[in-house]
Amino acid sequence: MTRIKDLFVYPIDREITTVIKMDDLRLTEIEQELGEYVVTDAVEELLIQFLERYAETRTARTDRIGVWISGFFGSGKSHFAKILSYLLENRQVGNQSAVDLFRLRVAGSPRRREIEQLLHQVTNFIDTQVIAFQIKTEEDLLAQVATEQDAMAGNHISTIMYRQWLKKRGLSTTLWVARLELELISLGLYDAFQAQIQELEKLPWAEVRAHDMLVRDAAVKALCAILPERYPSAAQASKALDDIQAGLQMGPSILADELVAWVESQRESSSEKTPHLVYIIDEMGQFIGDSNDKLLELQSIAEAFASKGLGKLWLVVTAQEALEEIVREAIHRENEFDKIRDRFNLRLDLTSENIEKVLEERILKKKEAKRSQIESLYRQAEGNIGVVCSLQGANRPLPAPEKARFVADYPFPPYQLAILQQIFAAVRTPSGETQKIEGTERSLIGVTQAVLKSPETSFATSPLGRLVALDEIYDQVETELPSVDRRTIAEVEIPPHPTFLKRILKALYLIQKLTWIPCTAENLARLLVTHVDDPETPFGNFRRRVEEGLVALVKGNYVIERDGQYEFLSGVKKDIELAIAAVKVSVNDRRREVKKYLRTVLDIGRLNYKGVRSFDVMVRGDDDLIHTKGEITLQVYSPVYVRA
């Protein structure tokens, strides 16, 4: 018997880095990321666009240094950005360079020569240093901003970028300490200062500067020792440190000035290559949110890099949203949008097709010997697969369950990989604020692998024919969803089959995030199917079971139904529905409201017959006289009146 895990080229339980961490530079990590990177046609095109622009700055000045990389959750934008950092620095990975490893990934591409030539230009004629980090992980630095100096307020991005530059140089990320270190470096006394600290404190300077209670006194003593003429007393050395702290300033222009000066200093030690500094900042879009101030600061940084660096400084950022969407959220002035658009005029967008190909290559790639078995399964159950592996009424195109796509995506229905990233990007909290399932915990690759290797699902050991249902996806991301909704689903105890009702709720909870797919009983049944063709439970019977479950959930106030579509009641919305249901309305109240409505809609008055003659019409609604005179009588009864 063929088991699901036997289908794949790569062991389904192997270790895969599913969340890209910009600051994880272990050689084993770099080797795996480069060695397994899936270079799709879209990635090749975006890479060439960037390398062409970047290679031009070897000899030419330019102010076109801003790059905006966007893509849905899981589209691979962070991975693409990190691969760029490896290629630009071209660091050694074992006995190979990063570029050499990457060449293997494009070996069969028709654009291989074009990519290799651009990489040759970039790595042989430009000396690139990269500072790559995820800005959302730097919240602790933001907290320190307020304690450093009021002068830093309003310049959060600049300060974070400056600290990252200090960190790359091995300097302190406490700004006043770093300023002292930079001054000592310029005087050629930094080594002497560190030696003096070691002698005085019996600790290396890197440890001393990390302790707020030690660093200042130690620095004062060391300054007096190495610069006795300038600081003959501790008081004078202490005042010098006070002056440094009082003079702290940071902003886009100051940041650019200091970075340009440093890059120019690198030219002297590397005259054969043109020195560049490239910032690659991940999740900038999430960091900005709807903050006008942050967006305008980013614009100012890009302007300063462009005007002062002239190609020496580059700013590459990633975001789930396209630049236009970020601007629309943060500002509403067309002239400001034009300025930001001009600064980030190289915009690279990774599409959903990219992540689907990555999943098919890294997780779902099938052994050649096993493909024929899946094809045979498809032929045997083609009619049923056409039903259970498609959704009805979607007003956006979804992959059709044709043979090649079914084989490539199996055991996931072909539509599923296409909708998952959009579902994850649209999950919302009860308050309506976006609660994205971020890459900090899960990636689409991670969720896909987790479903297949989870002992709870037993997918790995299941026989050929099983399908991934949407509620099994819910189980893998449950901990990252709003707790109030998780509790609501977990507490369902409606007999006789509460577990099945929970499955329905889980699938409904996720699919209703996509307003363009109807949440009908038919679609929910298809989303919950776990086998391509179960002879014991024909799909028609299974659909009726789902319909019965939905009726029970509506009665239990977990779900509401409108025009054949269903909605999971979460948070405040459920409280409102329960409050409405608790209101007791008398028959007389209903009749009064109906009569008011009838007076509105039945106020006919006169009726013209074929343009020949007009008649007055007497109108009665629920025996209430609405129009009192007429040659013709119209009598109308509402359902309320009949039931009364």
Measured in degrees and rounded to the nearest 5, phi and psi for residue 487 equal -65, -40
Q: Are strands 92-93 and 96-97 parallel, antiparallel or unpaired?
A: antiparallel
Minimal CA–CA distance to 38: which of 365, 348, 409?
365
Structure tokens at 164: 């990252």
Indicate the length of the chain as a whole number. 644
pLDDT, residue 151, reads 45
pLDDT, residue 140, reads 55
268-290 per-position pLDDT tens digit: 665 678 999 999 999 898 888 88
Q: Any idea which of 166-180, 371-385, 541-555, 563-577 has the lowest mean pLDDT?
A: 563-577
pLDDT, residue 642, reads 62
Query: Within 10 Å of residue 255's Cβ, how many Cβ atoms?
Result: 23
Minimal CA–CA distance to 19: which of 282, 286, 350, 281?
282
* Mean of pLDDT over the chain: 87
Is residue 79 within 8 A of residue 18, CB to CB? The reply is: no
CA distances from 22 to 88, 139, 318, 450 (A): 14, 15, 12, 23
| CA 382 – CA 286 distance, rounded (Å) | 43
Rounded (10°) CA dihedral 146, 151, 155, 159: -70
422-478 per-position pLDDT tens digit: 888 777 433 344 444 544 335 788 899 999 999 988 999 999 999 999 999 999 999
| CA 33 – CA 306 distance, rounded (Å) | 31
Query: Within 10 Å of residue 565's Cβ, how many Cβ atoms?
Result: 15
Is residue 393 within 8 A of residue 518, CB to CB? The reply is: yes
Query: Within 10 Å of residue 206's Cβ, how many Cβ atoms?
Result: 12
Residue 354 has pLDDT above 80, yes or no: no
Q: Peptide bond before 518: cis, by omega within 30 degrees of 0?
A: no
Q: Print the SS3 string covering 229-265.
A: CCCCCHHHHHHHHHHHHHCCCCCHHHHHHHHHHHHHH
pLDDT, residue 142, reads 58
pLDDT, residue 177, reads 97
DSSP string, 131-164: EEEEGGGGHHHHHHHHHH-GGGTT-HHHHHHHHH
CA angle 371, 372, 373 (to 5 degrees): 90
Is residue 422 within 8 A of residue 510, CB to CB? The reply is: no
Residue type for position 184? L
Mean pLDDT, residues 578-594 taken together: 72
DSSP string, 483-543: HHHHHHHHT---SS-HHHHHHHHHHHHHHTT-TTS---HHHHHHHH--BS--TTS-HHHHH
Coil vs helix vs strand at 327: helix
540-552 per-position pLDDT tens digit: 999 999 999 999 9
| CA 534 – CA 538 distance, rounded (Å) | 6
Is residue 126 within 8 A of residue 273, CB to CB? The reply is: yes
Architecture of domain 5-9+26-139+252-350: 3-Layer(aba) Sandwich (3.40)
pLDDT band at 300 (very low <50, low <70, confident <90, very high): very high
Rounded (10°) CA dihedral 498, 459, 77, 169: 110
CA angle 233, 235, 238 (to 5 degrees): 115
| CA 281 – CA 245 distance, rounded (Å) | 28
pLDDT, residue 604, reads 64
| CA 76 – CA 422 distance, rounded (Å) | 14
Is residue 217 within 8 A of residue 237, CB to CB? The reply is: no
Structure tokens at 488: 């609501």
Inter-residue long-range contacts of 395-401, CB under 8 Å, 24+ positions, other chains counted = 395/516, 396/516
State the residue for tokens 């959750």. Answer: 73
pLDDT, residue 578, reads 64
Mean pLDDT, residues 313-338 taken together: 75
Is residue 84 within 8 A of residue 97, CB to CB? The reply is: no
| CA 480 – CA 423 distance, rounded (Å) | 13
Give the residues across from 559 on adjacent strands.
568
pLDDT, residue 643, reads 54
Residue 371 has pLDDT above 80, yes or no: yes
pLDDT band at 143 (very low <50, low <70, confident <90, very high): low
Handedness of CA 628, 630, 636, 642 (dihedral sign): positive
